[in-house]
């Protein structure tokens, strides 16, 4: 089996709700997503997706994906997509870094391997250990009373995990956290996600002011050393996200006892292959994990579900269903939220059927 064509499609997702706001005054209302289709000479194809959270969240530029795919793609023509490690070696040898560009190709190759072997990706990633899992809901940054109303709304939909977007003015963030504390039920999980938005002094102020609230602090500051300073001043459990790009960063943070939970985003680390490597290491080290991506639609949600589905339940912390935030579906059989939970697809590969009529014409084709 050989790759004989790579197509790249671009679509715009619009949020179903209001704008999505987070730290430092950042917000988005629409998302440019890049969808890759990898085709083979045996008529089997696979899909992958990368959707960045704007250009100011991570070093990932959605409009640059076509240039990156055009750099990598010609060298993959004629290669066996089921030899996924070799595909990753080839991509890394051509383009240094730029994990988000390589991610959709890697996921598409896993989709092909699943279709060739007639097995869901979760089975290929180590075996399906979780069939259905609880989701978190991200609560965009806004006025404290509005964020409280949002949580109450999503509680009625079955969600039990909530990620407050903070990282703004510490005084306002203290109000945001305290305003929702009294509606968090026993068994619910509350995360205050700063997305690197606080200074160390601001983060310490928030942690101390809210010390009587049961919550997790996520990525309070921009660097590991800053996060360690905050950790020294609070007993609240900490999640690290934006600074974990691979095994080296994970081990550095682990050896410095910097976190209790790590957030593994598929496109941030370069695809399912590297996400699995980090996931397996976390299981060995005893680190809880949020398994997700920066953003996406049906393809991204399915890929996340397979990664969660092949994870030891004891180390699963949270995940989310990005396709429920957007106005556009490209696969009617993609996993959908039911009472705050998501089921892992059981069909081969990603387990979803892409409607190419929705994709339209490719913006790039490599043969």
Q: Across residues 255-260, what is the average pLDDT?
A: 98
Q: Could you give the CA distance from residue 270 to residue 95 in angstroms, rounded to a whole number?
A: 12
d(CA 240, CA 195): 9
Element (H, E) at 301: helix 298-309
Task: State the DSSP string of 15-43.
Answer: BSSS-EE-GGG-EESEEEEEEEEEEETTS
* Model confidence pLDDT, tens digit, residues 137-170: 999 999 999 999 999 999 999 999 999 999 999 9
- Confidence at residue 222, expressed as pLDDT on a 0 to 100 scale: 97
Percentage of the chain modeled with pLDDT above 70: 100
Q: Please identify which of the residues 265, 268, 274, 276 carries the catalytic annotation.
A: 265
**pLDDT tens across 111-140, in order?**
999 999 999 999 999 999 999 999 999 999
Phi/psi-derived region of residue 21, left when phi > 0, alpha when psi is between -120 and 50, beta in every other case: beta
Residue 61 has which token pair? 């530029």
Share of the chain above pLDDT 90, in %: 98
Q: How many Å apart are CA 217 and CA 144, to the nearest integer?
A: 17
Structure confidence at residue 54 (pLDDT)? 86
Residue 293 to residue 136: CA distance in whole angstroms = 13
The set of residues, in sequence order, having a beta carbon less than 8 Å from that of 225 and lying 6+ positions away, is none
User: Which two structure tokens, joined as six digits, stand for 119?
Assistant: 């097995």
Q: What would the two tokens of residue 341 be? A: 């939970």
**Inter-residue contact 312 to 129 (CB < 8 Å):** yes
Angle between helices 247-255 and 272-285 (to 10 degrees): 20
Q: In the beta sheet, which residues pair with residue 12?
A: 32
| Annotation says 165 is catalytic | yes
| Interatomic CA distance for residues 364 and 70, integer angstroms | 8
The b-or-e profile of 2-35 (16+ CB within 10 A means b, else e) is ebebbbbbbbebeeeeeebbbbeebbbeebbbbb
User: Rounded CA gap, 306 and 78, in Å?
Assistant: 27
Q: What is the pLDDT of residues 275-306, one digit of tens each?
A: 999 999 999 999 999 999 999 999 999 999 99
The answer to whether 179 and 361 have CB atoms below 8 angstroms apart is no
Q: What pLDDT does residue 121 have?
A: 98
Q: What is the DSSP string of 125-175?
A: TT----SEEE-EEEE-S--HHHHHHHHHHHHHTT--EEEEE--S-HHHHHH
**Domains in the chain, CATH or no CATH each:** 3-118+355-366 (3.30.390.10), 124-343 (3.20.20.120)
Burial profile 233-259: b = 16 or more Cβ within 10 angstroms, e = fewer: ebebbbbbbbbbbeeebbeebbeeebb
Catalytic residue among 37, 148, 165, 276: 165
The per-residue pLDDT for 56 is 85
Residues 6+ apart with CB under 8 A from 174: 205, 206, 209, 210
Residues 300-359: tens digit of each pLDDT: 999 999 999 999 999 999 999 999 999 999 999 999 999 999 999 999 999 999 999 999
Check if the beta carbon of residue 321 is closer than 8 Å to that of residue 154.
no
Regarding pTM above 0.85, the answer is yes
Compute CA 59 distance to the chain's CA centroid, rounded to the nearest angstrom: 15
């Amino acid at each position: 089996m050989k790759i004989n064509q790579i197509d790249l499609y671009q679509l715009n997702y619009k949020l179903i709700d209001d704008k999505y706001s987070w730290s430092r005054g950042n917000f988005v209302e629409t998302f440019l997503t890049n969808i890759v289709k990898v085709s083979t000479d045996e008529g089997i194809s696979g899909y992958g997706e990368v959707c960045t959270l704007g250009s100011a969240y991570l070093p990932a530029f959605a409009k640059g994906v076509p240039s990156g795919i055009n750099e990598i793609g010609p060298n993959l023509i004629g290669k066996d997509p089921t030899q996924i490690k070799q595909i990753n070696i080839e991509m890394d040898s051509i383009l240094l870094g730029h994990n988000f560009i390589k991610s959709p190709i890697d996921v598409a190759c896993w989709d092909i391997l699943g279709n060739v072997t007639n097995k869901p990706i979760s089975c290929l990633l180590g075996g399906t250990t979780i069939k259905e899992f609880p989701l978190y809901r991200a609560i965009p940054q806004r006025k404290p009373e509005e964020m409280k109303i949002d949580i109450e709304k999503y509680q009625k939909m079955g969600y039990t995990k909530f990620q407050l977007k903070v990282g703004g003015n510490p005084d306002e963030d203290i109000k945001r956290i305290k305003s929702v504390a009294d509606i968090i039920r026993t068994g619910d999980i509350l995360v205050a996600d700063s997305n690197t938005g606080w200074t160390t002094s601001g983060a310490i102020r928030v942690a101390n002011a809210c010390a009587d609230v049961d919550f997790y602090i996520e990525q309070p500051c921009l660097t590991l050393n800053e996060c360690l300073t905050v950790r020294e001043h609070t007993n609240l459990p900490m999640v690290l996200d934006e600074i974990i790009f691979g095994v080296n960063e994970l081990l550095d943070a682990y050896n410095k006892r910097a976190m209790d939970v790590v957030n593994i985003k598929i496109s941030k680390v370069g695809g399912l292959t590297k996400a699995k490597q980090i996931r397996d290491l976390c299981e060995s080290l005893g680190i809880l994990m949020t398994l997700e991506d920066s953003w996406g639609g049906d393809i991204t949600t399915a890929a996340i579900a397979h990664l969660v589905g092949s994870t030891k339940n004891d180390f699963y912390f949270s995940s989310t269903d990005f396709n429920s935030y957007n106005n556009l579906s490209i696969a009617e059989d993609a996993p959908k939220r039911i009472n705050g939970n998501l089921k892992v697809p059981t069909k081969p590969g990603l387990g979803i059927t892409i409607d190419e009529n929705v994709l339209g014409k490719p913006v790039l084709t490599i043969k």
